[in-house]
Amino acid sequence: MIRAENATPYQRCIKPWVFDRIEVSGSVFTGPAPGTYHRADFDRPRERIRFSLLGTWHCEFQGGPNLQALANYCGEVIGEGGFFGLASARRVNP
């Protein structure tokens, strides 16, 4: 996932799908796991977040951004680690 303004011709080739808005919804962990049991990570305290990435984006997949790239970028946007979630994207007609 890369902004269209920053994409080189090679990056445009390997990330052919273009979207003009990516809606992100997910959560960020706000505290440590409450124990060491199997579901401890799922029971961590969390805060829900939702935002839009505006502008034109080149992505690898027809369905939207790679989830690892999305999580890394969203972590930079919110300034914290521990982001997990999904995105829906609106595709630009060619």
Q: Mean of the per-residue pLDDT values for the chain? A: 84
pLDDT bracket for residue 94 (50, 70, 90): low
Structure tokens at 84: 């997990």
Q: Which of 4-8, 43-47, 65-69, 72-76 has the highest mean pLDDT?
A: 4-8
**Structural domain of residue 8, as residue ranges?**
2-33+41-91
Q: In a 3-state reduction of DSSP, which class is residue 12?
A: helix
* Domains: count for the chain: 1
Alpha-carbon gap, residue 1 to 53, rounded angstroms? 11
16-25 pLDDT, tens per residue? 999 988 888 8
Contact predicate 91/19, CB 8 Å: yes
Alpha-carbon gap, residue 52 to 22, rounded angstroms? 6
